[in-house]
A and B are shown apart, each in its own frame.
Chain A
Amino acid sequence: MLPTPARSGLSLLVGVKRCVDYAVKIRIRPDGKGVDTNVKNSMNPFDEIAVEEAVRLREKHKGDVSRIAAVSIGPAKAADVLRTALAMGADDAIHVEIPADTVIEPLGVSKILAAITKAEMEKGPDDEAWAWTMGKQAIDDDASQTGQMLAAHLDWPQATFASKLEFKGGFKKGEKVEVTREIDGGLATMETTLPFVLTTDLRLNEPRYASLPNIMKAKKKPLKKVTLKDLGLENEISPRLETLEVKEPPKRQGGIKVENVDELIAKLKESGRI
């Protein structure tokens, strides 16, 4: 284990989820209760952006970012995405390991992340600045809830769907942060204060690839395993939702190729669309 120096500056926690890779064409399981996840998995693309943003903050502000810790909840294989985060530049990782068939909804995830936050905060000074970054949604359940729920549990401000982040003040509790958010119809710029929860939109940054030497180095970085029991949450996060069925979306009727613009206009007129 690395020695833990007395920290000053910002501690960043980054939420990462292991999902079916975005390029995989998913298949419904034969039992109709879910999707076959025994395919290529990788880090949720929005979470990659969250890790990248944390690492860039440190590159820009050097010693003012004292720690970047990646956090994931999932079965043993979730450690893969934590190693990816470490290879991208996170310092250490926390893996909340759960059995492979356990379902945890965003509400449960947010409770676990809140418990981890509190446990980690206890180890540092009271005036330490904290922030969470995580993706705005996971591309498997498409829920877009966890960051907001976590902010609620911690009673921290939230900056969702961020496309730009700027630390205007210092790196202490209460210092100001400016965030530009993607909203319907345009952008909103807001000012908030540390500690806070940020969820990342696509245009915040372009995540880096982990280099081979960094992948090797990441194997030596600390990865701590935690159980729900350690957090005192084993009875607190049972699912409220039951998935009765997962089915294919209705298939579109196979269309027709039109030969030229005249035929296209004729078809559109025929179908009443123009």
Chain B
Amino acid sequence: MLALLRTPLLAAPRAATRRFSASARASDVLLFVEHKAGAVNAASLSALTAARKLGAGDVHALVGGKEADIQGVADAVAKFDGVSKVLHASGEALGSSLAEAFAPLLKQVASSGSYTHVVAGHTAFGRDVVPRAAALLDASQISDITAVHDADTFERPIYAGNAIAKVKSADKLKVLTVRGTAFDKAATEGGSASAEKVDFAEPSISTRLVSEQISKSSRPELATAARVVSGGRALKSAEGFEKYIEPLADALNAAVGASRAAVDAGYAANNLQVGQTGVVVAPELYLAVGISGAIQHLAGMKEAKTIVSINKDPECPMAEIADFALVANLEDAVPELLEKLKSA
């Protein structure tokens, strides 16, 4: 009976008390923000858009990181359109993005209010931290959602994107990771959230980051680029990649991607792999050069707005799904394309 009464009784004074109340209401969403070198990951902006579709409550953003970074990131997140409060915590292990530190933080904050949802990007970091936190929260996580039907019902791809499952969750607290390419990025201006420091006692952990080897590139980031030029096994060598794929990408201001075959053969770096087990992209233009189009590769790019295939095999799956398929030897077609793009 009390439970039934609670909602209408609290509904009226909600607006007046909100500003002074530190606790969350029963329909608030916790957005777990990812950032690196002071910049928020674009996947967190897509997750914010998904978070805003979930309910009538507020979106609170949780930011963890090292002491020196945290204020700057919290200030930036406070301006995001749709965030009403930024919760920030700092610590040494939080500066190294370690799941053993972040999962307890996420658990602490998610269970401190009356949040109905935890939302994060389905990135390498999100995939590492969020399931660990979900287990601590005893929640059955829903990974890589591509659509929100209502507060309990979501869509997600299964079997390498060859089927879409519509799933309804009975969990009180729903933990979701969001496919970045399936939701528009929220605006980074227009908001004015309050900020609140979280007292977080970092657990003693036995893991430490030794080093990071991040590929430096002046090109757009693969996951969010408007155009992607990808190469496959037909490039034959790393030199082939340099000779054909990279200049074409530069001419189009595109990111470079690769098929698993090209990565395994050492033609391109691991983190350029597009597909079920690599990066999922949905650019305006995806130009596949010498990629046959295995199921696992298509899982990573078939949401592209326009797909172009350059392949000498007219029957390959990529040519079948491409909007424009050029059946040609890439060694002839790519230099010609490059030449004509430059003179155009």
Contacts and interface: CB of A to CB of B under 8 A. Distances in A.
Interface of A: 20, 22, 25-26, 28, 35, 46, 105-108, 110, 136-137, 139-153, 157-161, 163, 174, 178, 182-193, 201-203, 239-249, 252-258, 260-262, 264-265, 267-268, 271, 273-274
B125 A183 contact: yes
Interface in B120-165: 123-125, 127-136, 138-144, 153, 156-165
B157 A142 contact: yes
Contacts of A140: 158-159
B333 A239 contact: no
7 contacts: A105-B140, A146-B131, A152-B103, A157-B100, A241-B169, A260-B326, A264-B337
Contact of A248 (B164, B276, B325): B164
A252 B298 CA distance: 12
A261 B334 CA distance: 9
A160 B307 CA distance: 32
A201 B168 CA distance: 30
On chain B, which size bracket covers the interface?
35 or more
A247 B169 contact: no
Interface majority SS (helix, strand, loop, mixed), chain A: mixed
A158 B271 contact: no
A149 B130 CA distance: 9
Given A189-B209, A267-B323, 4 more contacts: A28-B163, A144-B143, A160-B99, A273-B227
Interface string B189-230: 000000000000000011111111111000001010001000
B271 A185 contact: yes
Contact of B163 (A26, A255, A268): A26
User: What 9 pairs across the A-B complex have the smallest Cβ distances?
Assistant: A152-B135, A148-B131, A149-B135, A240-B140, A145-B131, A186-B214, A245-B166, A255-B323, A193-B206
A211 B170 CA distance: 46
B314 interface: yes
Of the candidates A145, A160, A247, the one having the most CB atoms from chain B within 10 angstroms of its own CB is: A145
B242 interface: no
Contacts of A274: 252, 285, 341, 344
A20 B159 contact: yes
B270 A241 contact: no
Contact of A187 (B138, B143, B212, B321): B212
A202 B135 contact: no
B87 interface: no
Interface in B215-265: 215, 221, 223, 227, 252, 260, 263-264
Given A35-B163, A148-B128, A271-B306, A142 B276 contact: yes
Of the candidates B135, B206, B221, B325, the one having the most CB atoms from chain A within 10 angstroms of its own CB is: B135
Given A140-B158, A152-B136, A257-B319, A161 B142 contact: no
Contacts of A202: 260, 264, 277
Contacts of B327: 257
A195 B59 CA distance: 37
B321 A255 contact: yes
B210 A190 contact: yes
